[in-house]
């Protein structure tokens, strides 16, 4: 599987990464999904301390222990579970970040994290303290690089201006093209990679697209609009290939994107996604067709 450089780091990540949130807590089944990802050539695994009360990090760390020097492990910080596990609160303080990383390292069974990410954030956060925490963790060797997971334009601009982040994780798909107006060009200009999530838009951009349409719609699309747009896209683009291929290749078509994070709850899903990533890239004409049929979108909040 092809690899792309992650920002200005020395990390080369596969074009498809495994989003580990959906692998579950049954260790044997979860390990089978991770091992299938390794068999398919995936080297980038994304988890978070929030997932399954930290159990996800334990499973990921155990499964990758024997290949630790060959993989990129990314995890996240900022969401703090309440003591009774009834919910979580947001804590981007320097003291919490520096304490939480030690717990993640312990659960992952490793002495360093390749990519440590702020798991959200608002412009009201103490951004300078967050950056200071990440920079100190780098200097201390606990993390190699850091990034943020955010779709908020004002937060992204602040980190681009003040920090040495190497990546931003954000939702991006044919049905959510909001990053294209400002986020992707800004990050590409500064040599910061985008890691995309939600590329299949909750299954709406898979071959089961019409089965996934609900009365709630999706993003700026109403139910009726989805029932019109999705078949049109499929008719114009997917005559000789799966729509999963179209959807994943659309993300990779933007030069700012380094890797597409796709979750999987079965080995078969991993194999389907890997096959789609290895398929032919979209032509410029196909990208143009997608942009003509779908909505461009724009972030209206967090300006």
Q: Does the active-site annotation cover 51?
A: yes
Instruction: Please pick, among 51, 116, 146, 250, the residue that the annotation labels catalytic.
Output: 51
CB-count burial class (<10 Å; 0-12, 13-18, 19+) for 258:
buried
Q: What is the token pair recorded at 98?
A: 């520096």
Among residues 250, 279, 111, 283, the alpha carbon closest in space to that of 172 is found at 250
Say which residues have a Cβ less than 8 Å from residue 45's Cβ, sequence separation at least 6.
17, 18, 20, 34, 37, 60, 64, 71, 72, 73, 74
Whole-angstrom distance, CA of residue 266 vs CA of residue 33 = 6
Q: What is the token pair recorded at 289?
A: 């067709």
Q: What is the token pair recorded at 169?
A: 């994780």
Whole-angstrom distance, CA of residue 6 vs CA of residue 188 = 11
Q: Are strands 257-263 and 12-14 parallel, antiparallel or unpaired?
A: unpaired
Catalytic residue numbers read 51
């Amino acid at each position: 599987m092809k690899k792309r450089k992650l920002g200005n780091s020395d990390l080369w990540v596969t074009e498809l990464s495994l989003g580990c949130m959906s692998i579950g807590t049954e260790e044997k089944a979860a390990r089978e999904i991770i091992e299938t990802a390794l068999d398919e050539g995936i080297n980038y695994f994304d988890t978070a301390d929030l997932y399954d009360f930290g159990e996800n990090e334990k499973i990921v760390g155990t499964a990758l222990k024997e290949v630790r020097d060959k993989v990129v492990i990314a995890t996240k910080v900022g969401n703090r579970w309440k003591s009774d596990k009834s919910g979580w609160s947001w804590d981007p303080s320097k003291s919490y970040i520096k304490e939480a990383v030690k717990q993640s390292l312990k659960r992952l069974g490793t002495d360093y994290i390749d990519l440590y990410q702020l798991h959200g954030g608002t412009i009201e956060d103490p951004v300078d303290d967050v950056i200071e925490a990440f920079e100190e963790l780098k200097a201390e060797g606990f993390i190699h690089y850091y990034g943020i997971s955010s779709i908020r334009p004002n937060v992204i601009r602040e980190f681009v201006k003040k920090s040495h982040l190497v990546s931003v994780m954000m939702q991006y798909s044919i049905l959510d093209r909001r990053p294209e107006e400002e986020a992707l060009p800004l990050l590409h200009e500064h040599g910061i990679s985008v890691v995309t999530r939600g590329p299949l838009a909750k299954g709406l951009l898979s071959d089961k697209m019409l089965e996934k349409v609900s009365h709630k719609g999706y993003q700026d699309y109403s139910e009726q609009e989805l029932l019109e747009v999705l078949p049109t896209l499929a008719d114009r683009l997917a005559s000789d290939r799966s729509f999963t291929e179209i959807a994943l290749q659309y993300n990779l078509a933007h030069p700012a994107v380094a890797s597409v994070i796709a979750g999987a709850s079965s080995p078969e899903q991993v194999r389907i996604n890997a096959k789609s990533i290895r398929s032919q890239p979209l032509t410029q004409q196909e990208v143009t067709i997608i942009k003509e049929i779908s909505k461009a979108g724009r972030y209206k909040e967090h300006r």
